[in-house]
A and B are shown apart, each in its own frame.
Chain A
Amino acid sequence: MSAVLKPKSKLIVCDGNEAAAWAVAAARVEMVAVYPITPQSSLVEYLAKFVADGRLAAELVDAEGEHSVLSVLQGACLAGARTYTASCGPGVAFMFEPYVRTPGLRLPIVMGIVTRDLLTPQSVWGGQQDAMSVREAGWIQVYCESVQEVLDTTIMAYKIAEHRDVMLPVNVCHDGNYLSFGAARVELPDQAEVDAFLGEKDVNWHVALDPRRPMAVDPLTGGAVGSGPATFVRYRKGECSAMQNALSVITEVHEEWGRRFGRTHAPLVERYRMQDADYALVTIGSMTGAAKDAVDAARERGEKVGLLKVKTYRPFPVQAVAAALAQVKAAGVVDRSVSFGWNCGPLFQDVIGALYHAPRRVAAMSFIGGLAGADITTGHFDEAIRRVAELAQGAAAGGTVWLNEKD
């Protein structure tokens, strides 16, 4: 990330939850539905305060649960509103039913996931199990590294979601505890510039609940006869195509953001000191900061290690990941969640899937850390780098390494 302060922008100090709320105000969201849950709660409190203070001119619905939160937004979006909510952990689990329906309706809803580990064991702390558990539901998912990136990406999410080649909901994920409560200096973009960047909202041109455009929304399809199967397949295929379209749209939107605001974020993946790397770490979310420090220290020791940060997780940037890792001998993928049944992290699965497209085989191993709010320190990354270096020299990958197992 590089920053050149624009004349009309403003510097503030805030945490990731407040940054998301500022982004919602800047995007001129019209309908916000909320239900509090740790560690997202302060985000919805900021939204409520911004509405009360007149800073955010949105309808605020204090719903009776996350299931209704997303349902309210679906109704509002079908009527024509730009919408926002945020949740995490058990809240995401509870809203699963309307959640899985949102992409099928092609509603460009933006929802923050302030990532939290899922129950059980009982925990209220950070971890990405919630967002990862819904990775196959059809939402675009992007993961932020910094508070500034939360703010900027939440605004960009509307431009991505409402793009006519996409028309899909977007999860902007930021790590609970770390980004949610970690304060940082951030730049608030100029409102006129944001307005120009986002343009007119475009949310229900394709499907609407409006007496002036009467239509039946989501009639029954499928079954073994008639036009049912073909109709259903056409819709599903359309969703999948839109997901793939999102790869280039996300890239274009990030590039435009950089041009307008003088601050660039890698859209799909970020290559960090990868130029001549023999091996690499692959990270996602806020852990990347500590991982970069560990990579810097290793580089000073003369180790040829690089880092690949995955920002866009769904759609998975298969080609970008394969291209970035094609040159290294080994990769260590650090997950903040688990994939039951594979005994590894879900990002690891995706990375080795992408590596199938690499011209030669790249050895890979899975690290899991940061569950239930555990720190992944530079010490943990030092250990990970050591293991990946051994892998690059021909050692066996072995099983998944649990970074916080003995903390």
Chain B
Amino acid sequence: MGAFETISFRPENCNGCNDCMIACAQAKAQSDDAARSRIQVLSSDGSYELAMCRQCGDPECVHNCPAAALSKDAESGVIDWDASKCVDCLLCTVGCSYGGMVYDVDAGHVAKCDLCDGDPACVKACPRGALKFLTTARIYNEVGNLEDLFVPGLAGCQGCNTELIIRHAMRRIGPEAVVATPPGCIPGMGTVGYNGLTGTKVPVFHPLLTNTASMLTGVRRYYKRIGRNVKVVALAGDGGTADVGFQSLSGAAERGEEMLFICVDNEGYMNTGMQRSGCTPYGAWTSTTPVGERGRGKTQDAKNLPLLMVMHHCAYVATASTGFMEDLYDKLDRAIEASEHGFAYLHVYSPCTTGWRFPSDQNIEVSRKAVRTNFVLLWEFDPQSGLRLTHAAEDPLPLAEYVMALGKYRHLSEEQIAHIEGTIAQNVKFVKGLAAGVPLAAAPA
């Protein structure tokens, strides 16, 4: 069985406005009466709870139905209700523990959510983002059958985000590719292998830390010359991208070389012992910005590499996070497509359990918090459309939720936190300004 799309509910964003219920009632019962909505938001001790069909994988309502009026659609996962078979016994309502099967008095039948054919009215009506339509299942269904192009047992640290990123990326990119993994965690975990054994099922190599984009230039140009379409892909850390690798990156981007350059940003030289890089944020502990009587972590802000790449007029530039996989996959698809005709750059944030000092089961949660506090902004850019935020920067969580989750920030003073908040505010303003601006391609010369 595949995975299915569903609606998520975040009670902390809900204020009980009932707009979702009105929208549902209008869409499904042509009524303004919230009581006829198939989604019910209920107030409970100052918070809110959701009563609606969860489209269960093992649905009690379907089991209870004596007339086969309820069935789970194998394609969409939606539990369909067939009015022509229903005998109005209401046994289904007994089975459901989510309040998803309710009796509609005016209709004289049970009524349940059908996800509006994949475009739920309630979600569109929610003004505060409390409801969200999750299409993550697409990833499982579409990508789950693609071959994982790395061998099992790569030696990443427990809970490594980078391993997740590269496995997902290469599944999507496919086997007709040549992969460059400059020195760092990615070859360090064994992708290029040790002593003659490889960790990857496609051609893979160690470039130097300095020349990834240049070596890929040679590979792609030659294959293009002889009429073969071979994708060339960099899976690089932030050091090999932003610091010592920047010259070759910048040169290849300026020339518009056709490649997909994925920077896996764990904000430092994690593989070689957690030293500071140009992408290490202000205040962060690293082994070369240690905390002591005088040292309080890094004293400079990180360089904003993805924005630098925007200014190279790349065919596509985006930031992404494994906390938001649908977004990551959308961007991966666009980046792969763009790399067929120009330089595509994808900057993926990769919290590092070892180097950032947090429990290894917290990686996705840390990734989410980075985005929800606006510490990381998710956006994409292409010259025709300009820059577009793909995750709203409004109503961020307090920064403390993010920095306090990480050992590398444990020493931060209030002044240092205020500095980071100031940097974030500036960054949000700057990126929003770019998002509001005219597309680069349309800008006057």
Q: Which residues of A contact B (CB under 8 A)?
A: 30-31, 33, 59, 61-65, 67-69, 71-81, 83, 97-98, 101, 208-211, 213-221, 226-228, 231
Q: Which of B363-416 contact A (CB under 8 A)?
A: none
| Contact for A64 among B207, B226, B248, CB less than 8 A | B248
Which residue of A is nearest B208, CB measured?
A97
Q: Is the CB of A64 within 8 A of B208?
A: no
* 5 pairs, CB–CB < 8 Å, chain A vs chain B: A31-B221, A64-B254, A68-B251, A79-B178, A97-B210
Query: Given A68-B211, A101-B208, A214-B202, do A80 and B192 touch, yes or no (CB 8 Å)?
Result: no
Q: Are A219 and B197 in contact (CB under 8 A)?
A: yes
User: Is there an interface contact between B206 and A231, defined as CB atoms closer than 8 Å?
Assistant: no
Q: A68-B217, A219-B198, A226-B194 are in contact. List 16 more A-B contacts (CB 8 A).
A: A67-B214, A71-B211, A72-B214, A73-B218, A79-B218, A79-B219, A79-B230, A97-B210, A97-B211, A209-B205, A213-B203, A216-B205, A219-B194, A219-B197, A219-B206, A227-B195
SS class, residues of chain B in contact with chain A: mixed
B22 to chain A, nearest CB (A): 55
- Given A59, A98, A211, which contacts B178 in the complex, CB threshold below 8 Å? A211
List the 5 closest A-B pairs by CB distance, nearest first: A75-B218, A64-B251, A216-B198, A76-B218, A71-B214
Interface residues on B, range: 35 or more
Chain B residues near A33 (CB-CB < 8 A): 218
* B215–A75 touching, CB < 8 Å: yes
Q: If the complex has contacts A64-B250, A65-B251, A220-B193, are A215 and B218 also in contact, measured as CB distance less than 8 A?
A: no
With contact pairs A62-B255, A64-B250 given, residues A211 and B175 touching in the complex (Cβ less than 8 Å): yes
Chain A hits for B192, CB < 8 A: 216-220
Question: Is B317's CB within 8 Å of the partner chain A?
Answer: no
Residues in chain B near residue A218, CB distance under 8 A: 192, 205-206
Residues in A neighbouring B222, C-beta threshold 8 A: 30-31, 59, 75-76, 79-81
Output the residue of A83, A97, A220 with the most chain B CB within 10 A.
A220
Q: Mark B166-209, 1 if CB is under 8 A from A, else 0.
A: 00000000011110000000010000111111111111111110
A211/B214 in contact, CB under 8 A: no
Contact residues of B with A, CB < 8 Å? 175-178, 187, 192-208, 210-211, 213-223, 225-226, 230, 247-248, 250-252, 254-255
Does A217 contact B203, Cβ atoms closer than 8 Å?
A: yes
Of B203, B213, B247, most A-chain CB atoms within 10 Å: B203
Known contacts A209-B205, A216-B204, A226-B195: A64-B247 contact under CB 8 Å: yes
B219 touches A209 (CB 8 A): yes
A271 vs B247: C-alpha distance in the bound complex, in angstroms?
47
CA distance A69 to B218 in the complex (A): 9
The answer to whether A67 touches B205 (Cβ under 8 A) is: no
* A221 CA / B247 CA spacing, docked (Å): 28
When the two chains form the complex, which single residue of A78, A215, A228 contacts B219, counting CB atoms closer than 8 Å? A78
Assess whether A61 is in contact with B218, with CB atoms less than 8 Å apart: yes
Residues of the A chain whose Cβ atoms lie less than 8 Å from the Cβ of B193: 216, 219-220
A63 vs B200: C-alpha distance in the bound complex, in angstroms? 29
Which residues of A lie under 8 Å from residue B205 when comparing CB positions?
78, 209, 216-218
- How many Å lie between the Cα of A201 and that of B445 in the bound state? 46
- CB-CB under 8 A for A81 and B255, given A59-B225, A209-B178, A211-B230: no
CB pair B217 A75 closer than 8 Å: yes
CB-CB under 8 A from B176, the residues of chain A are 211
B250 touches A231 (CB 8 A): no
Q: How far is the CA of A211 from the CA of B192 in the complex (A)?
A: 15
- Complex CA gap A189/B292 in Å reads 71
Interchain nearest-CB distance for A322 vs B (Å): 39
For A76, list chain B residues within 8 Å (CB): 218-219, 221-222
Nearest chain A CB to B339's CB is how many angstroms away? 15
Q: Are B248 and A67 in contact (CB-based, < 8 A)? A: yes
Q: For B196, what are the chain A residues with a Cβ–Cβ distance below 8 Å? A: 219, 221, 227, 231
A75–B37 Cα distance when bound, in Å, is 61
Point out which of A71, A77, A79 has the most chain B C-beta atoms below 10 A from its C-beta: A79
Closest to A75 in B: B218
Pairwise interchain contact B221-A59, C-beta atoms closer than 8 A: yes
B203 touches A209 (CB 8 A): yes
Distance in angstroms between the alpha carbons of A304 and B107 in the assembled complex? 122
B187 CB to closest chain A CB, in angstroms? 7
Q: Name the one of B187, B203, B220 contacting A214, with C-beta atoms under 8 angstroms.
A: B203
Of B199, B200, B248, which is within 8 A of A71 by CB? B248
A63 touches B219 (CB 8 A): no
Residues of B within 8 A of A65 (CB): 247, 251
A231's nearest neighbour on chain B, judged by CB, is B195
The smallest beta-carbon distance between A65 and chain B, in angstroms, is 6
Tell me the bound Cα distance from A31 to B222 in angstroms.
Answer: 7
**Chain A residue at minimum C-beta to C-beta distance from B199:** A216
Does A215 contact B198, Cβ atoms closer than 8 Å? yes
**Assembled-state Cα–Cα distance A81/B200 (Å):** 24
Complex Cα–Cα for A220 and B184 (A)? 12
Is the CB–CB distance between B203 and A61 below 8 Å? Answer: no
> Which B residue's beta carbon lies closest to that of A230?
B195
Smallest CB separation, A218 vs chain B (Å): 5
Closest-CB distance, A224 to chain B (whole angstroms): 13
How far in angstroms is the closest Cβ of chain A from B258?
12
In the assembled complex, the CB of A406 is this many whole angstroms from the nearest CB of chain B, namely: 43
B248/A68 in contact, CB under 8 A: yes
A67 touches B223 (CB 8 A): no
Query: Which residues does chain A contribute within 8 Å of B203, judged by CB atoms?
Result: 208-211, 213-217
CA distance A68 to B244 in the complex (A): 12
Residues of B within 8 A of A62 (CB): 255
Query: B129: shortest Cβ distance to chain A, in Å?
Result: 43
Q: How far is the CB of B194 from chain A (nearest CB, A)?
A: 5
CB distance from B146 to the nearest CB of A (A): 16
